[in-house]
Amino acid sequence: MWPMGEVRAGQCEARGFLNEKTQRFLPCDKTIGGDIYKTTTELSIINGRPHFVVHSSKEQQSVRRYGIVLDAGSSHTSLYIYKWPAEKENDTGVVHQIEECKVKGPGISKYAQKLTEIGIYLTACMERARHVIPQSQHRDTPVYLGATAGMRLLRIENTPLADKVLTEVTKSLSSYPFNFQGARIITGQEEGAYGWITINYLLGKFTQKLRWLNLKPNRDHTQETYGALDLGGASTQITFVPQNNSIESPDNALRFRLYGKNYSVYTHSFLCYGKDQALMQKLAKDIQASIMESRPALPTDPCFHPGYTKVMNISDLYKSPCTKKFETTLQLHQFQIQGTGNYQQCQQSILQLFNNSYCPYSQCSFNGIFLPPLKGDFGKTDQHVRKEVQLPSRTPAGEFLPRSSVSA
């Protein structure tokens, strides 16, 4: 297993660095990984993308270290190569991303039925890493793989098969001359929590010194943190500090100590409500409704542009755990989507995916999930906005801060 535990109370005393290429903060969780010439390597997951954080003693010589991270999302996998100085100012170093390689093909969960192809799937990017990183540094270069919501869904559907995928990944990555540190499926809480840390660090909300990062300090001098929204392919995360730290659901509470201050954060990951899986839910629900009303299955669809057509297999639609509740016995094996491009009709169709009829708490988002009153502004970690993920309209979170990210 990948040696990085879940975020727990009091475990995150953050130090951070800026990824020079992507302008992303690289926070820490807790020490994982091994001893690289007395260098402690830590790993953080930010919106599905793992990042290195490195600490070392002052005994280091002025040499460069390297690290490899594979972000295994629901729709694709990307490999990132990082470089940092072994000798660091104040025992802290800046990690630079020097290479990105997009693995050709879908996410690794799609290889559950073709396990023997996983090695080939990863070969091109791993060979690229072999050439980019100096040979003298190979054995000291840690390699990590973090899988997100696509593999979380596979684990729900078939745990032994998900384990086999990780086993094959481990077998493949261990065959390279690097220091393989493990592969694991990260939690939705981790995705949400690190997205929240990222946004607030970049905005200077943790009172950290920013001049050496070439960032402008927060001018209003307030410590009001921003909330974070992350819409991926298979899941959606929301994380923020609620008013009066009121969190009625213990499963949604995380506690951090960042830069000498304690934070009580609400976070929830809505599995099956990423953009890809939400679409599959919508199609399955539409087919179910058409059968119940004795109508042809999906003659037209307002959520696709006019003239768009696509043939889908029924088996592909119902193989995800996200669509099982809508599964209907059909005579046909395929159906065709025909787009009409009607925004209002599309919106009404999508709204039906959100069940607001049940709430065991004082306030919920949808599907009976506790959500405290929203507070402050939110930063979005993708191209989607609050309205599209069904946040209450009464929220004061009126300002969104676009930031590029990798979908889950």
Q: Is 48 annotated as a binding residue?
A: no
* Residue 24: pLDDT over 80: no
43: in domain: yes
Per-residue pLDDT at 394: 37
Tally of CB atoms within 10 A around 114: 11
Residue 41: in which H helix or E strand, if any? strand 39-46
Which of 229 and 25 is assigned the larger pLDDT? 229
Output the DSSP codes for 219-280: TT---PPPEEEEE-SSEEEEEE--GGG----GGGEEEEEETTEEEEEEEEEEET-SHHHHHH
Q: Which residue is catalytic, options 191, 248, 388, 399? A: 191
> Does the annotation flag 233 for ligand binding?
yes
- Going by pLDDT thresholds of 50, 70 and 90, the confidence category of residue 296 is low
Best CA proximity match to 72, nearest among 102, 96, 29, 107: 107
End-to-end CA gap in the chain = 20
Q: How far apart (Å, rounded) are the C-alpha atoms in residues 1 and 183?
A: 6
Calculate the average pLDDT of the chain: 77
Q: Do residues 51 and 73 share a domain? A: no
256 part of a folded domain:
no
Whether residue 49 is found in the same domain as residue 142: no
Give yes or no: residues 100 and 47 share one domain: no
The predicted pLDDT at position 382 comes to 55
Q: Give me the sign of the Cα torsion angle 21, 23, 29, 31.
A: positive
User: Residue 153 carries which side chain, given as an amino acid letter?
Assistant: L
pLDDT at 244: 80
Residues 124, 31, single domain; the answer is no
pLDDT tens column, 177-227: 999 999 999 999 988 887 898 788 777 787 655 444 444 444 444 468 899
Please indicate, yes or no, whether residues 112 and 155 belong to a single structural domain of this protein.
yes
Give pLDDT, residue 297: 61
- pLDDT for the residue numbered 89: 42
| pLDDT computed for residue 197 by the predictor | 82
pLDDT surpasses 50 at 18: no
Regarding whether 344 and 284 lie in a shared domain, the answer is yes
Cα–Cα distance, 300 to 3 (Å, whole number): 49
Task: Name the strand (E) or helix (H) holding 46.
Answer: strand 39-46
Q: Is 278 among the annotated ligand-binding positions?
A: no
Does the annotation count 191 as an active-site position? yes
| Region 167-178 average pLDDT | 98
CATH number at 181 reads 3.30.420.40
For residues 52 and 132, membership in a common domain is answered with no
236 in a labelled binding site: yes
Judge whether residue 32 has pLDDT over 50.
no
Query: For the ranges 265-279, 338-352, 353-367, 375-389, which has the lowest average pLDDT?
Result: 375-389
Q: Quick one: average pLDDT of 352-375?
A: 93
Q: Three-state DSSP class for 102? A: strand
Confidence of residue 383 (pLDDT cuts 50, 70, 90): very low
Mean pLDDT of 377-382: 71
Q: Is the pLDDT of residue 302 over 70?
A: yes
Instruction: Tell me the C-alpha distance between 3 and 183, whole Å.
Output: 9
Boundary of a domain, candidates 159, 186, 213: 186
- State yes or no: pLDDT of 323 exceeds 80: yes
In a domain, 141, yes or no: yes
Tell me how far apart the alpha carbons of residues 223 and 226 are, in angstroms, rounded to a whole number: 9
The reply to whether 88 falls in a domain is yes
DSSP annotation of 306: T
321 and 347 part of one domain: yes
> What digits encode the pLDDT tens for the residues 55-96?
444 444 468 899 999 989 898 999 999 998 876 544 434 567
Tell which wins on pLDDT, 219 or 35: 219
Across 210-214, 284-288, 319-323, 359-363, least confident range: 210-214
| Range with the poorest average pLDDT among 165-174, 196-205, 274-283 | 196-205
Residue 381: predicted pLDDT: 59
Both tokens of 90, joined, read 């104040």
Q: What percent of the chain has pLDDT over 90?
A: 47
| Same domain for 148 and 44 | no
Q: Same structural domain for residues 134 and 44?
A: no
Q: Are residues 76 and 180 in the same domain?
A: yes
Amino acid letter, residue 312: M
Q: What is the pLDDT of residue 207?
A: 63
Do the annotations mark residue 129 as ligand-binding?
Answer: no
Q: What share of the chain is helix, strand, coil (3-state, %, to 5)?
A: 30, 30, 40
Containing structural domain, residue 297: 275-352
Q: Is 92 among the domain residues?
A: yes
Is residue 219 included in any domain, yes or no? no
- Quote the number of domains for the chain: 3
What is the C-alpha separation between 49 and 77, in angstroms, rounded?
A: 10
Confidence of residue 376 (pLDDT cuts 50, 70, 90): confident
What is the structure's pLDDT at 279?
A: 94
pLDDT digits (tens, 9 = 90+) for 253-271: 998 887 778 889 999 999 9
Statement to judge: residues 152 and 68 lie in one domain: yes
Q: Which residue has the higher pLDDT, 173 or 380?
A: 173
**CB-based contacts of 63: which residues, under 8 Å, 6+ apart?**
85, 86, 87
User: In this structure, is residue 388 part of a structural domain?
Assistant: no
pTM exceeds cut of 0.75: no
What's the confidence (pLDDT) of residue 292? 78
